[in-house]
Amino acid sequence: MTHHEYDVVIVGAGGAGMRAALESSQRARTAVLTKLYPTRSHTGAAQGGMAAALANVEDDNAEWHVFDTIKGGDYLVDQDAAEILCNEAIDAVLDLEKMGLPFNRTPEGKVDQRRFGGHTRNHGEAAVRRACYSADRTGHMILQTLYQQCIKQEVEFFNEYYVLDLILDSDPQAAAEGEDVSVAGVVALELSTGEIHTFSAKSVVFATGGAGKVFKTTSNAHTLTGDGMGIALNAGLPLEDMEFFQFHPTGLAGLGILLSEAARGEGGILRNSEGERFMERYAPTIKDLAPRDMVARAMANEVREGRGAGPHKDYVLLDLTHLEPAHIDEKLPDITEFARTYLGVEPYTEPVPVYPTAHYAMGGIPTTVQGEVLRNNLDTVKGLYAAGECACVSVHGANRLGTNSLLDINVFGRRAGIAAAEHAVATAEAAAFPDDAAARVEGIVTRLLGTVGGSGTERVAEVRKVLQETMDRNVQVFRDASSLEEATRVIAELKERYQDVAIHDRGKRFNTDLLEAIELGFLLEIAEVVVAGALARQESRGGHYREDFPTRDDEKFMHHTMAYATGDGVRLDTKPVIVTRYQPMERKY
């Protein structure tokens, strides 16, 4: 075991982690620990754009963006956070441009902008061109640009270090309100050697990304297993609004691979088996550019009412055939290649089969607008920060608008990096790092390695498959009490079966079998929290749609969910939504 000491430790090297590192490393001694090489992070898979009211191509302003974000989030957005997001968006884009990001350009040479779902002119009048983009690989360009800047700044990376535990100086659930709880550091497994490392730090930033792999059909990478959220939960911290999961309308049918909303922003149209542009019925004003939750539900509804396309009538069609091939090549080169490679469909001449795919966790580790992690509704953990998809600040509320996540990671990644470094600089001594800090992780690793050749009868892949299929069947676009109770029952059963899992690789080095077994543990915990929140929320709001409670109920449910892990399962609490100037209205597009 090796012990390290830093001022700031950042966990995760996607967009939020690296944006934080660029700030933190200028101010304090910083280490970035990442399960993957930084350039493998899933920020790189984001496609369509990053929202900012630059007004480079038409009239726009940050206030319209704030309104759209709040309405898009079905009024569960914390409005102070949304104001920060949208006001700081412009500098966030300009900062990236100055770092070298190759945005597409207007004829005048400025950053070009295009339309995206839910982003409108003057509070809903019409779609507005707000998304700054680089073809359909904007996330790739952001990830590359931030990594390049990290190289320039000589940021210290610990690549393929898998963080498995968060060390606090006292139990955050046992501590009284107002009492200080501070971060002490993290424990990580070095994948190439199997060695356990401990990191003492004055500040820790979690930027570990999402948990899409709780579902079967997902746009998320295999590695997005909710590790950071699971670690926080195990450390006694709450998770906020986990029942709100976004299903992106246009996943490649059967595969879930993402086809950017930019396809519709550039003029693509969704059609059912009858060739009808069905979104005209669901969102008469902005049609195919309605927010994702509404489009995903409309698609699923078309399919269940028998208007799905294909031999099994189980998908709808994304039609780009009326667009010029040259326009497609310039603006949507990657996604059209995905359709060709994986479905053998030529988007110039054939519509592309699509169906909603699990895409984004609106919920996560609750934070303040400075990225400080909350341990209850009021108290922060001193020195602990979170940003990006693993966090919930909450700017996305019940449904995130497209292009607001690339924005989120830049704005709140930056804020968390600055706050973490400033806290470290102002803190004389890191909290005492306990001698037995690694015991829990050693216990997990030893237990799992001990299952090789043992009596365990369960396979990781089989338990995970049942979990993912259960979540797709019961907790997807449409939910109700009986489907959620079924999911609850199966997850409890799978948690039992997980205790009996056996792995097959006895090696210490690059034991990816062990890695997948640990990841499955996190997936089961996250799934349990998602379902518990969904069951308790007897209303429909944003990405959470209950068929047995089909309307939004502001009287009973205009609040955030706070979920805590306890010895007897998930305990749910509520947290007020911060409202500054926008009162809830009916959500029509």
Q: Indicate the annotated binding residues.
A: 12-17, 34-49, 227, 248, 260, 359, 389, 400, 405-406
Give the shortest CB-283-to-other proteins separation in angstroms: 19
CB atoms within 10 A of CB 111: 21
CA neighbor of 208 nearest in space, from 438, 27, 38, 429: 38
Burial class (CB in 10 A: 0-12, 13-18, 19+), 532: buried
Give whichever of 222 and 281 is closer to other proteins, judged by the CB atom: 222
Give the shortest CB-138-to-other proteins separation in angstroms: 11
CA neighbor of 295 nearest in space, from 50, 542, 585, 550: 542
- Answer whether the bond into residue 394 is a cis peptide, omega within 30°: yes
Confirm if 199 and 186 have CB atoms less than 8 A apart: yes
Give the shortest CB-475-to-other proteins separation in angstroms: 8
Give the shortest CB-391-to-other proteins separation in angstroms: 21
Binding-site residue set for substrate: 248, 260, 359, 400
Binding-site residue set for FAD: 12-17, 34-49, 227, 389, 405-406
Burial class (CB in 10 A: 0-12, 13-18, 19+), 584: middle
Output DSSP code: residue 39.
Answer: G
CA atoms of 478 and 353, how far apart (whole Å): 20
Structure tokens at 536: 């308790």
CA neighbor of 64 nearest in space, from 75, 47, 52, 73: 52
Give the shortest CB-333-to-other proteins separation in angstroms: 9
CA atoms of 398 and 373, how far apart (whole Å): 20
Give whichever of 3 and 152 is closer to other proteins, judged by the CB atom: 152
Confirm if 387 and 371 have CB atoms less than 8 A apart: yes
Q: 479: helix, coil or strand?
A: strand
Give whichever of 192 and 580 is closer to other proteins, judged by the CB atom: 192
What is the distance between the terminal CA atoms of the chain, rounded to a whole angstrom?
57
**DSSP assignment string, 154-165:** T-EEEETEEEEE
The torsion defined by the Cα of 385, 391, 397 and 399, in degrees rounded to 10, comes to 160
Give whichever of 146 and 387 is closer to other proteins, judged by the CB atom: 146
Give whichever of 71 and 114 is closer to other proteins, judged by the CB atom: 114
CB atoms within 10 A of CB 450: 13
Give the shortest CB-451-to-other proteins separation in angstroms: 10
Q: Strand pairing of 316-319 and 352-361? A: antiparallel
Give whichever of 178 and 306 is closer to other proteins, judged by the CB atom: 306
State the catalytic residues: 292
Give whichever of 29 and 459 is closer to other proteins, judged by the CB atom: 459
The helices-and-strands tally (H runs, E runs) of the chain is 17, 20
Give the shortest CB-142-to-other proteins separation in angstroms: 12
Q: 498: helix, coil or strand?
A: helix
Alpha carbon 157 to chain centroid distance? 22
